[in-house]
Amino acid sequence: MTQATLRPAERTALLARHPDVFHRSLASRLAAPLAVAATAAYFVFCFFFFGVPQVLGDAQWERAGTYMADWVSWEATPRFRFEDDGIDLEWTRSLLGDNPDPDWIVRTGENAYAITFGDAANRIEVAPDQVIAVVDGVEHVVTFADGDAVMPTTATSDFALKNGRVTVHYGFAGLAEIRATQVYVRRRFLGWPNFFFDTKSPYFGMSAGEVWTSVTSGPQIAEGKSNLQLAFDEFLTNTEWQHLDVYNKLLQTIVMAFVGTLFAAIVSFPLSFLAARNVTRNRLTNWVTKRGFDLLRSVDMLIWALFFVRGFGPGPIPGIAAIFFTDTGTLGKTSTEAIENIDDKQREGVRSVGASPIAVQRYGVVPQVAPVFLSQVLYFWESNTRSATVIGAVGAGGIGLKLIEAMRTNQDWENVAYMVLLILIVVFVFDNLSNALRSRLIGKSH
């Protein structure tokens, strides 16, 4: 029933009973629209204040696809140098062994090579006097003049000229950079190269079936060591993927998170009794302890890590200390609040039977706050597994330091993807483990 359907007397009575609803002031009616307008104006201000248009305009979006491809692929990088006596083929970074001879490089003459990018319709034909770039079956001739490569007149958007170099892009398959002195090829392949065995391993180049046969029934390869043990050692000591070092750093990260959280729990729990006003009846003690918690948690974990790395040097000790300091402040504050909000009847009941002050806290307070405190500790342990990776990047050891080292090379992005995947697996496992333990402590909702 609306106001229009009411009789005049009823409508008058309703308006009289609820004047604040039917006769709102102008300010109250405009409050919501003004709040929306102010929020929109604020976002517009931030958009231009932080130079978002310029950032978006200057962004090199093409690099995003390249970086994503680098995570799941690898590049072979042969270089064809023009010498007086012909063409010299060398490998900038060979992942194909000591004597690479891939089928996508074919010698077509005494001083000529053809490099295919997926199929014969996309290839580079290299000769000392000219280079022919074939894109989708169409030939484009690149010549040389005055020490520079000359852009072909038939060039398409797949070609680029910069500083006397003509670059031909073949999409995901790679590119060729043509100069007057050489042709540099970056040939891309899907997958992670030499993940199990590097080029120096006796198992390099073997298929999975050949490795299995060697391990189970093949002749002994190394004296004093079984083939199974040799294969395991070769995997861990892989110089390109460094599995053993990665696993050690990952374990170091897990230990950092566990030890830092454990020490913080051990220290913060008893201190929270000193900070709680209903347990410790001393205002000065309450104030000093609470301000100590505020100091520890107000400084970010990353800042603590930088501080301790400066004092102790790189390694896991600064990481443990950073986690310990930050979590002591946060756990101490949350525990104090939990203690101050307990039901005092249980404590009074224990006190009424003549128990000592320590026994009163042990049986009257601890049973009420322990499940909540332990649940918070488990959550922080899970969260610190991720945080330990971040602080490791600033020198606090662990997988974070290994990760940032791989990023700095700007070549080992597949190694970065590998370590990120390991971190995700560890976080997933610890997240589920923490959730299961918390469910047992505080009970599942029904």
Model pLDDT for residues 174-190, shown as the tens digit of each residue = 999 999 889 999 999 99
What is residue 224's predicted lDDT score, i.e. its pLDDT?
A: 82
Q: What is the pTM of this model?
A: 0.78
Residue 11 — very low, low, confident or very high, per pLDDT cuts 50/70/90?
Answer: low
Q: Is 174 helix (H, G, I), strand (E, B) or coil?
A: strand
Q: How many CB atoms lie under 10 A from the CB of residue 367? A: 11
What is residue 104's predicted lDDT score, i.e. its pLDDT?
A: 92
pLDDT digits (tens, 9 = 90+) for 369-386: 888 888 888 888 888 888
Q: Structure tokens of 233?
A: 């050692």
Is the model's pLDDT at 444 over the cut of 60? no
Mean pLDDT within 202-212? 88
Is the model's pLDDT at 445 over the cut of 50? no
Architecture of domain 243-442: Orthogonal Bundle (1.10)
Is the model's pLDDT at 2 over the cut of 60? no
What is residue 193's predicted lDDT score, i.e. its pLDDT?
A: 87
Q: Outline where 155-242 has alpha helix (H).
A: 208-217, 227-236
| Rounded-to-integer distance, Cα 331 and Cα 308, Å | 21
Of 278, 274, 259, 238, the C-alpha closest to 317 is: 259
Find residue 124's DSSP bridge partners.
115, 133
Q: Give the best-scoring range by mean pLDDT among 25-39, 51-65, 88-102, 161-175.
A: 161-175
CB 193 within 8 A of CB 97: no
Mean pLDDT within 213-217? 88
pLDDT digits (tens, 9 = 90+) for 396-411: 778 888 888 888 877 7
Instruction: Please name the amino acid found at residue 288.
Output: V
268-272, 297-301, 431-435: least confidently modelled range: 431-435
What is residue 80's predicted lDDT score, i.e. its pLDDT?
A: 93
Is the model's pLDDT at 213 over the cut of 80? yes
